[in-house]
A and B are shown apart, each in its own frame.
Chain A
Amino acid sequence: MVNCAKCNGQAALKRPKNGDALCRSCFFDAFEREIHATIVGNDLFVRGDSVAIGASGGKDSTVLAHVLNLLNERHDYGVKLVLLSIDEGITGYRDDSLEAVKRNKLEYGLPLEILTYKELYGWTMDEIVAKIGLKNNCTFCGVFRRQALDRGAWKLGVNKVATGHNADDIAETVLMNVLRGDIARLQRCTQIVTGQEGMLPRCKPLKYTYEKEIVMYAHFKKLDYFSTECIYSPNAYRGH
């Protein structure tokens, strides 16, 4: 029997971040504590903030919603949280993940707003792909989604947006920007809060959280999320 490194009870897992053997509750504790430290250490929220959580129904945003809700209560951040979802109009992918978000809303009791590309831009991603083909569509979608989040946030009257970008995402982005020679993006992409000039600040509370740990947390907490990747993603440069 392997002992939990913290409490000496029976270990249930091995932490991907540092290989520690931990029992479930010590893992939850460490995971939540570290995110709390990130939030406090980087002054991500102040009392009275109204924050929209970019919620796709996937593991990152589901865990983000769960943990922010929990920490907000536990540490009395005094922040108002809402869920904001964007429907790009990708059949068989987005419609299913949105069902997961709706279940989240019910579970956490948080208000939910859904915006669609069709309403905002007059096009669904399916229609865009049909027009421009399978290459480069991820770039378009990313740009549209960012703007959509801003619009949704404005509509909701919030003053901040929180997204579920994790450590693996940031590492991928750094590598991708080096490979593409995009020095300007390289400089901005590791910032934990972006978009302050004239736009709504967007923060990444999960910036230092490993993707594997997010999956592990969601699994052991039995959180409800949607886990298939976008049908158009095999063609993105990021995939390489």
Chain B
Amino acid sequence: MSVGVVEMDRLSLTPKTEGGTATNRRCVKCPEAGILSGLDPKKAVYCRPCFMQMVMHKFRSSIGRQRLFKDGESRKTVVIFDGTPAAAFLLGMIRSGLAADAHHRLQLDPVVVAVVTKLDRQEIDAVIKRIDTIKSYLQCDWHIVHLAAVLSDNLQDLSSSSSEICPGVDQLDRLIELFSSIRSESGRSEMKVRLRTALLYRMTETMGVSKMMTSDTADRLAKLSLSSLALGRGAQMSEDTAVVDKRHPKVAVIRPLKELSDKEVGIFNRFEQLDELTVIVGDPDRASPAVQTITDSFVTHLQAGFHSTLTTVLSSASKVKTATTSRIRCAFCFSSSDDRFCLACRGILDEVGEPSLLPSSLQ
């Protein structure tokens, strides 16, 4: 969990002293001892309550700044739950935000969607059972769906009562076959991500909802920026990392945790006992190297030595836009394109050995 240079004692979460007493420093907000830090321990240190305040404030201001829920805009929002500590954190923020008094209440009406990407039926059942126990934490509609649902051409409106506990499982074999027909590990990884995003867009749109919220942290987004760059999606860098991403004509993607690091989220979760809300919804990355896993390790390693890596990458990414004036949107990822599919999506679709396995919208 802890990626920064200040080593934390795992039980007490106080820093091990490193070249002089860390506890000599004062919290930057109040006179108490400064024992916790964000990305860069050399910059700011906080006492526990001020740290928690700082983290919550980052979340609130990310949303508040965007004026998404004002001016009569519908407050209904799909909240994507991927079982990560960041997702657990997001649930925690939403719950406490909704419980606040009228003046401070979070103006958001959540519908939680969890996408299961496990490929083994028994494991899928286990994930569903686990999510069932987490559901009660946030009282609202929860929809569990399997990634394979994206392969069917008709996605029923999931907000209507469906007898299926986890729609999409019926297409599981087709999905497994699809992945097996892709030549490279990077290709498989990329296809998984693209299909998942396409599924979420379709579901949200079918439900008549115009916003979906992800739990992507600074770490996740910085890593995504660099692997996207390596995979030919450099033109999408600013959209991929924006707090509000409006490339899809009907659904906006919101990333309220962009300013938060995995480290900050991890510490917060530990103090608020939100770790109980985590679940592993997919298969871990295979040993065989892929662009994405190599990039992930690269960024983590670099961040350890150069503390401003994450913020710099995100800052650079926000400034890289496409020069195209084309109004066409890629049918797979909805970014600007010169053709039915953008070059990068064309590339990943071409890697599929059995194109008939794809849904007709992608063939």
A181 within 8 A of B: yes
Tell me whether chain B's interface is mostly helix, strand or loop, or mixed: helix
> Contact between B316 and A178 (Cβ–Cβ < 8 Å)?
yes
A130 within 8 A of B: no
Contact of B317 among A174, A178, A180, A240 (CB under 8 A): A178
Contact of B312 among A174, A175, A181, A240 (CB under 8 A): A181
Residues on A with C-beta less than 8 A from B226 are 175, 178
B320 within 8 A of A: yes
Residues on A with C-beta less than 8 A from B313 are 178-179
> Contact between B309 and A179 (Cβ–Cβ < 8 Å)?
yes
Residues on B with C-beta less than 8 A from A174 are 229
> Contact between A180 and B319 (Cβ–Cβ < 8 Å)?
no
| Least Cβ–Cβ distance between A136 and chain B, in angstroms | 15
A199 within 8 A of B: no
Query: What mask results when residues 308 to 341 of chain B are scored 1 for a CB within 8 Å of chain A, else 0?
Result: 0100110111011000000000000000000000
A223 within 8 A of B: no
| Least Cβ–Cβ distance between B236 and chain A, in angstroms | 14
On whether A181 and B302 interact (CB within 8 A), knowing A174-B229, A175-B226, the answer reads no
| Least Cβ–Cβ distance between A213 and chain B, in angstroms | 19
> Contact between A186 and B229 (Cβ–Cβ < 8 Å)?
no
Query: What mask results when residues 225 to 240 of chain A are scored 1 for a CB within 8 Å of chain B, else 0?
Result: 0000000000000001
> Contact between B229 and A240 (Cβ–Cβ < 8 Å)?
no
Tell me how many residues of B have a C-beta within 8 Å of chain A. 13
> Contact between B302 and A183 (Cβ–Cβ < 8 Å)?
no
Q: Which of B213-232 contact A (CB under 8 A)?
A: 225-226, 229
| Least Cβ–Cβ distance between A125 and chain B, in angstroms | 25
| Least Cβ–Cβ distance between B117 and chain A, in angstroms | 29
**C-alpha gap A27/B302 in the complex (Å):** 38
> Contact between B302 and A240 (Cβ–Cβ < 8 Å)?
yes
Query: What mask results when residues 113 to 136 of chain A are scored 1 for a CB within 8 Å of chain B, else 0?
Result: 000000000000000000000000
**C-alpha gap A240/B298 in the complex (Å):** 9
> Contact between A183 and B319 (Cβ–Cβ < 8 Å)?
yes
**C-alpha gap A180/B313 in the complex (Å):** 8
Residue among A174, A180, A181 with the most chain B CB within 10 A? A181
Residues on A with C-beta less than 8 A from B309 are 179
Residues on B with C-beta less than 8 A from A181 are 312, 315-316
**C-alpha gap A178/B313 in the complex (Å):** 6
**C-alpha gap A203/B124 in the complex (Å):** 56
> Contact between A186 and B302 (Cβ–Cβ < 8 Å)?
no
**C-alpha gap A183/B226 in the complex (Å):** 15
Residues on B with C-beta less than 8 A from A177 are 316
Contact of A175 among B229, B317, B320 (CB under 8 A): B229
| Least Cβ–Cβ distance between A208 and chain B, in angstroms | 14
| Least Cβ–Cβ distance between A207 and chain B, in angstroms | 16
Residues on B with C-beta less than 8 A from A186 are 316, 320
> Contact between A179 and B319 (Cβ–Cβ < 8 Å)?
no
Residues on A with C-beta less than 8 A from B320 are 178, 183, 186
> Contact between A178 and B229 (Cβ–Cβ < 8 Å)?
yes
Residue of A with least CB distance to B225: A178
Residues on A with C-beta less than 8 A from B302 are 179, 240
Query: What mask results when residues 219 to 260 of chain B are scored 1 for a CB within 8 Å of chain A, else 0?
Result: 000000110010000000000000000000000000000000
Residues on A with C-beta less than 8 A from B225 are 178
Q: Which of A33-75 contact B (CB under 8 A)?
A: none
Q: Which of B196-227 contact A (CB under 8 A)?
A: 225-226
**C-alpha gap A88/B313 in the complex (Å):** 33
Residues on A with C-beta less than 8 A from B319 are 183
Residues on B with C-beta less than 8 A from A240 are 302, 305
> Contact between B316 and A183 (Cβ–Cβ < 8 Å)?
yes
**C-alpha gap A183/B319 in the complex (Å):** 8
**C-alpha gap A17/B166 in the complex (Å):** 43
Residues on B with C-beta less than 8 A from A175 are 226, 229
**C-alpha gap A180/B309 in the complex (Å):** 8
Residues on A with C-beta less than 8 A from B317 are 178
**C-alpha gap A177/B309 in the complex (Å):** 12
> Contact between A180 and B229 (Cβ–Cβ < 8 Å)?
no
| Least Cβ–Cβ distance between A178 and chain B, in angstroms | 5
Residues on A with C-beta less than 8 A from B312 are 179-181
| Least Cβ–Cβ distance between A197 and chain B, in angstroms | 21
Provide a sorted-by-A list of 14 A–B residue pairs whose CB atoms are within 8 angstroms: A175-B226, A178-B229, A178-B313, A178-B316, A178-B317, A179-B302, A179-B316, A180-B312, A181-B315, A183-B319, A183-B320, A186-B316, A186-B320, A240-B302
Beyond A174-B229, A186-B320, 6 extra complex contacts between A and B, CB < 8 Å = A179-B302, A179-B312, A179-B316, A180-B312, A181-B315, A240-B305
Where the two chains meet, the residues of B that have a C-beta atom closer than 8 Å to any C-beta of A are: 225-226, 229, 302, 305, 309, 312-313, 315-317, 319-320
